[in-house]
């Protein structure tokens, strides 16, 4: 297999992780609404229906899951602000990963970050970079899940959510 063919697989791997993060955030918002639904309260149900419909509309436009967009959709449609659970370096790393994915998805030169830089100072992905990306997203999902669960428990008094 040529180096170019190997790089295609690395790009596909990173693209899959970004797509999975995007899908995870969308599902997290939907799971939030599933967790808080209270069909026994008609006033709550009316507001819930409006809020959920607005969230679903916003989710159809959510396609660049960088730190700012992710935070905005979570805050606006669930009330959960992940700013305190996402360390600053995690936000920067998320933005870097989404930017790298954006570059090769749209035919731009890959940005050179510490984790994408070769000895020749050109940006490219390596097996190690893809493995680190996987570990990064696994941790990010764990931390975000924990934060959303705590938000639902403290705001709505619900336990055993997931």
Write the pLDDT tens digit of every residue in 9-44: 988 999 999 999 999 999 999 999 999 998 888 888
User: Is 162 a member of any domain?
Assistant: no
What is the rounded distance in angstroms from the CA atom of residue 108 to the CA atom of residue 96?
14
Residue 78 lies in a domain: yes
Number of domain units in the chain: 1
Q: Minimum mean pLDDT among 7-11, 63-67, 113-117, 118-122: which range?
A: 118-122
Q: How far apart are CA 113 and CA 117, in angstroms?
A: 6
Q: Any alpha helices (H) in 62-126, and if so which ranges?
A: 67-78, 88-105
Q: What angle, rounded to 10 degrees, do the helices at 67-78 and 42-61 form?
A: 160
Residue 161 in domain: no
Each as own residue / partner, the long-range contacts of residues 118-127 (CB below 8 Å, 24 or more positions apart, any chain) are 124/7, 124/10, 125/7, 125/10, 125/11, 125/13, 125/14, 125/100, 126/10, 127/10
Domain that holds residue 125: 3-156
Q: Average pLDDT in the 92-112 region?
A: 84
The structure's pTM equals 0.90
């Amino acid at each position: 297999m040529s180096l170019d063919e190997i790089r295609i697989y690395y790009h596909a791997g990173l693209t899959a992780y970004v797509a999975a993060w995007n899908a995870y955030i969308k599902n997290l918002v939907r799971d939030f609404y599933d967790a808080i639904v209270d069909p026994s309260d008609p006033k709550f149900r009316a507001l819930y229906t409006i809020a959920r419909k607005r969230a679903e509309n916003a989710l159809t436009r959510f396609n660049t899951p960088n730190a700012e967009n992710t935070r905005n959709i979570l805050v606006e449609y669930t009330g959960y602000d992940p700013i305190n659970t996402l360390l600053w370096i995690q936000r920067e790393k998320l933005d870097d990963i989404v930017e790298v994915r954006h570059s090769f998805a749209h035919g731009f030169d890959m940005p050179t970050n510490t984790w994408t830089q070769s000895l020749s100072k050109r940006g490219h992905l390596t097996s190690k970079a893809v493995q680190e990306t996987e570990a990064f997203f696994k941790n990010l999902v764990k931390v975000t899940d924990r934060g959303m669960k705590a938000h639902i428990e403290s705001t709505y008094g619900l336990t055993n959510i997931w």
